[in-house]
Amino acid sequence: MSGEHVEIATEDGVADGYLARPADDDGRRPGVLLLVDAFGLRPQIEQMAERIAQRGFVVLAPNVFYRHGRAPVLPMPDLEDPEARGPFMEKIGPMMQELTPEVIASDSRGYLDSLAKAARGPFAITGYCMGVRLGWRIATAHPDRVVALAGFHGGGLVTDDPDSPHRSAGELTVEVYLGHADNDRSMTPENIATLERALEEADVSYRSEVYEGAAHGYTMADTSMYDERAAERHYQALFALLDRTL
């Protein structure tokens, strides 16, 4: 397996990113776009990209906050300190709000074009936390280039906003897998039921599961929310989706 930091041309500038390839990459491996959580592109994300690449995929993880600088845009807070998370979220919150559906669709053209230089398409997307929402937007914006969407401990997929992701379920043409966190305020049981109903009404091929006992952020080994058992379950579900669709 090999990994390198890369630059990704977008319509608004240049995003930095991390590209991981299998050791025996022959230039024809299928591609996966990995979309980060709110803590952004960092060594933990790079390690996850490498784990997926070892399975035989080319993985690109872009710094979606590139407009505010190269990764890490903000230093990781000490998540063992309950007083550290609040200030971090206050800073990152406005950056997240800037990632509107229009901005995501625009940036994703550059992400997918960059991935296409290293891998064969169509592609799959795996997203974490806010990355699930971003992945949903990209899948609906580029139905001809994306065939699968995996999302883990996603938040904000069901809101009262007119442009809530669940309202665009009818635009999805991909196979979807969702691994929800348990007792997640950003994705409640009522939200999950609403999302599943929207997917069913849109006749989307999907699987939706709640990881019992796993907190929001359970895949991230550099946070206090990490749950090794749930994280390994997430890899099993992700690999099954990738093997099936790519």
Q: Could you list the active site residues?
A: 129, 184, 216
Helix/strand/coil (H/E/C) assignment for every residue in the chain: CEEEEEEEEECCEEEEEEEEECCCCCCCCEEEEEECCCCCCCHHHHHHHHHHHCCCCEEEEECCCHHHCCCCCCCCCCCCCHHHHHHHHHHHHHHHHCCCHHHHHHHHHHHHHHHHCCCEEEEEEEEECHHHHHHHHHHHHCCCCEEEEEEECCCCCCCCCCCCHHHHHHHCCCEEEEEEECCECCECHHHHHHHHHHHHHCCCCEEEEEECCCCCCCCCCCCCCCCHHHHHHHHHHHHHHHHHHC
